[in-house]
Structure 1
């Protein structure tokens, strides 16, 4: 049986990804802060939890993130609060980087494997036409760079691994509850879309940034 790992498995999208992968005949291992005590912002916690795992995993999803660490996204430069900005970066960029440091060991040496890391379209510099949301945008741009670099590094030894940054769309979760004006999809639909995207990507697309329909997003 194929094996999958979901980091952030208790969140709205993470839980839906775990359930969707099970319908696709994966044996799923899930880790999260609320259930397992995994704190992706703490290197020792990441080492303890991921270091205890035995691979290989055919599919890995990293579904962790915060919008504004309990505050509100900044509408202007004057609203930036340094400590909050640092915390958003810790969760959205540094956390996934710490997780990705363990990924090569957890992937099979031979054969296709996939790693999808949740990002967001607002992390695209080329697509930014509205400004604002400085901490969230910057942290997602940062994690995109981490993912791209990880794909290059891991791909040197795991030749058939496909690693990608993923924009899931606006998903109906607690994360987006304060933004009623946006058109949203259910976590279940988002999970199906993301699994389909990762299943359809070619090895040559590793390191790319894709939306829920598999369309490439500009950096």
Structure 2
């Protein structure tokens, strides 16, 4: 019996989060009220509030779901011998295959982080999560000998984060933007950073 209850609870949480995501994409963070999310999910307010007591809690639920999905993707890197190809496929999944509307929602949430301490805390948590996963992936590539022994992994991590956030912003604001060549560019530059020994890279900059 508890297993059935757990399954039902999981289904309801999924229903709420899917409904909330549609509302946030359609109306923005402030425009998407809890009443609208209830209506979209086909639930009463009392039922929905049992799972998520506030809009901030809904955002946290969406973030946790994204964390779980991303963690699965990074874990899959360990099961392949071609680290660079698998890494590129993972980036394509998140930066190319993801619907443009998802990036618009991300921009809304990031803007809210400047005004809302709870959302700001989630932003910090998300940043730390992504940094940790990228360091782990590049560290694994380093141990396998797929990047230069003296490569600056931290430099690669920060480059990927900065470039990816810019790409996400472009996708959100420009419906005609094609992310494919830019993801290719991301990996061309990342390879030049990490496949070239650090000393030689620094010499080329002087």
Could you state the TM-score of these two structures normalised by the residue count of structure 2? 0.41
Between Structure 1 and Structure 2, the one with more strand by share is: 1
Relative to its length, the structure with more helix (as a share) is 2
Find the structure with the greater CA-based Rg.
2
Normalised TM-score (structure 1): 0.39
